[in-house]
A and B are shown apart, each in its own frame.
Chain A
Amino acid sequence: MKLTLKIWRQKSPKDKGRFETYKVEASPHMSFLEMLDVLNEELISKKEEPVTFEHDCREGICGTCGLVINGQPHGPNKGTATCQLHMRFYKDGDIIVIEPYRASAFPVLKDLAVDRSAFDRIIQAGGYISVSTGAPQDGNAIPIEKDQAAKSFDAAACIGCGACVAACPNASAMLFVSAKVSHLALLPQGKVEAQRRAQAMVRQMDEEGFGMCSNVTACEVECPKEISVTNIARLNREYLSASLGSEV
């Protein structure tokens, strides 16, 4: 299949950046990133600079590959990351626009690669538990209700890709932070520090320049792991009760 790509090229964080148009011949069996690999090999063979994009696992677990494809973070497929999108979803002759995430807290490093270290700093601010857990204990040593465990597990599926920020008109990181807070707060090991954690992570989130959540819920739609916005309600609960200084 023959495709036309309009790709954002930006030499460095300071460069203004612009769209460039490329033609590429792809097979429907390729993944979206493999299609970009093909383009890059061609560019290199012409001694041109390849398009920089981030990727690692290429199986939807590392969270590095977020691209905005025709305006949608991670492309048109529901519940998948860019690396899990295949060219069979496109037709011969299609025009595909590929951009980096647009959010001031995620500055563009080069072309399609953005600096997502703001997320790392939010995790460092509180996305952990302070007890030393030692070797893994027996699975049934601490009984946890199935319902709680399942909710925590669903929240833990967040891969920190940042698509929620890219999807949000306010560039808010609430879905990400709420997933991390919920994942830990729902388990007995993480419950102890739940309120302190929520406060510290929200504080860091604000410092990084992410926007406010105004319940647009575009994040939930674009999230490759289908993290639910009910986690945001949980985060707000933890945060509020922490601010009021009362235990719930």
Chain B
Amino acid sequence: MNVKGNQSVESFHRRLGKIMWDYCGMSRNADSMKKYRKMIQELREEFYKDVFIPGSMNDYNPELEKAQRVADFFELGELMVVDALDRNESCGGHFREEYQSEEGEALRNDEDYAYVSAWEYKGWDQDPVLHKEELIFENIELKTRSYK
């Protein structure tokens, strides 16, 4: 509210969305994600320096509400990149271009990544800390699904 900059909340949301769509969409790779993680951080800084939120703090103010959401999206977006970078395999909606079969199918790595990632928030400028929740299968054997 007190930033009183020049750019609308919507314009930041769109720019962040474009970065996420282009570089952390369904198909992603480590090189570009490393680069764009930095871009998200820079955009976030720009947001806190130059966003303009009209209206006042004490009235019904949908722009302020949206600004709070977009502020969260910066953190969530960056976390998605961190998580996608950590997982060196292709799995479900996470297709890492480096990990694919010759036919272009997703290549999983169950040896190293059969876990759910829970990330602990460590603060504004800190990297989050990974907690692994192992996936243990007792009665079935992990296989590759084939639609062919």
A interface list, Cβ under 8 A from B: 11-12, 37, 40-41, 43-45, 47-50, 52, 109-110, 113
**B60 lies within 8 A of A48 (CB):** no
Cα A125 to Cα B138 with chains together (Å): 48
Partner of A41, one of B10, B59, B60, B62: B10
Q: Which residues of B contact A12 (CB under 8 A)?
A: 59-60
- A49-B54, A50-B63, A109-B60 provided; 8 other pairs, C-beta below 8 A? A12-B60, A37-B10, A41-B11, A44-B8, A44-B52, A47-B52, A48-B54, A113-B60
Q: Which residue of B is nearest A54, CB measured?
A: B62
A-B residue pairs in contact (CB < 8 Å), sample of 16: A12-B59, A12-B60, A37-B10, A41-B8, A41-B10, A41-B11, A43-B54, A44-B8, A44-B54, A47-B52, A47-B54, A50-B63, A52-B60, A52-B62, A109-B60, A113-B60
Residues on A with beta carbons closer than 8 Å to the beta carbon of B63: 44, 50
Closest Cβ–Cβ distance, residue B47 to chain A (whole Å):
15
B contacts with A, residue count (CB < 8 A): 10
User: Closest Cβ of chain A: how far from B18's Cβ, in Å?
Assistant: 16
Q: Cβ of B17 < 8 Å from any Cβ of A?
A: no
Q: How far is the CA of A47 from the CA of B5 in the complex (A)?
A: 10
Chain A residues with CB under 8 A of B8 = 41, 44-45
8 Å CB contacts to A: which residues of B1-34?
8, 10-11
CB–CB A110/B59 < 8 A: yes
| Chain B, 24-71, CB within 8 A of any chain A CB | 52, 54-55, 59-60, 62-63
Question: Interface residues of A: mostly helix, strand, loop or mixed?
Answer: mixed
- B103 to A: closest C-beta gap in Å: 36
Taking the closest CB of chain A, its distance from the CB of B53, in whole angstroms, is 9
Q: Are B60 and A49 in contact (CB under 8 A)?
A: no
- The chain A residue with its CB closest to the CB of B62 is A52
CA A186 – CA B42 in complex, angstroms? 57
Task: Give bound CA distance, A212 to B141, whole Å.
Answer: 65
In the bound assembly, the distance between CA atoms of A138 and B54 in angstroms comes to 52
Nearest residue (CB) in B for A46 is: B54
- B109-148 interface mask toward A, CB cutoff 8 Å, 1 = contact, 0 = none? 0000000000000000000000000000000000000000
Cα(A49)–Cα(B59), bound, Å: 12
Shortest CB-to-CB span from B1 to chain A, Å, is 14
A7 to B52, CA, bound (A): 23
Complex CA–CA separation, A48 to B63 (angstroms):
12
Q: For residue A51, which residue of chain B has the nearest CB? A: B62
When distances are taken between beta carbons in the complex, the residues of chain B under 8 Å from A110 are 59-60
Given contacts A41-B8, A41-B10, contact A49 B55 (CB under 8 A): yes
Alpha-carbon distance A41/B66, docked complex (angstroms): 13
Task: Indicate with 1 or 0, residue by residue over B91-103, a CB within 8 angstroms of chain A CB atoms.
Answer: 0000000000000
Q: How far is the CA of A40 from the CA of B11 in the complex (A)?
A: 12
Least distance between B6 CB and chain A CB atoms (Å): 8
Q: How far is the CB of A16 from chain B (nearest CB, A)?
A: 16
CB-defined contacts of B55 to chain A, threshold 8 Å:
49
For B10, list chain A residues within 8 Å (CB).
37, 40-41, 44
Residue of B nearest to A53 (CB): B62
Shortest distance between the CB of B67 and any CB in chain A (Å): 11
Complex CA distance for A48 and B59, rounded to whole angstroms: 15
- Please name the residue on chain B nearest to A110 by beta carbon: B60
A110 vs B54: C-alpha distance when bound (angstroms): 14
Closest B residue to A44 by beta carbon equals B8
Residues of A within 8 A of B62 (CB): 52
- Report chain B residues within 8 Å CB of A11: 59
The 9 closest A-B pairs by CB, nearest first: A44-B8, A49-B54, A110-B60, A49-B55, A109-B60, A52-B62, A44-B54, A41-B8, A41-B10
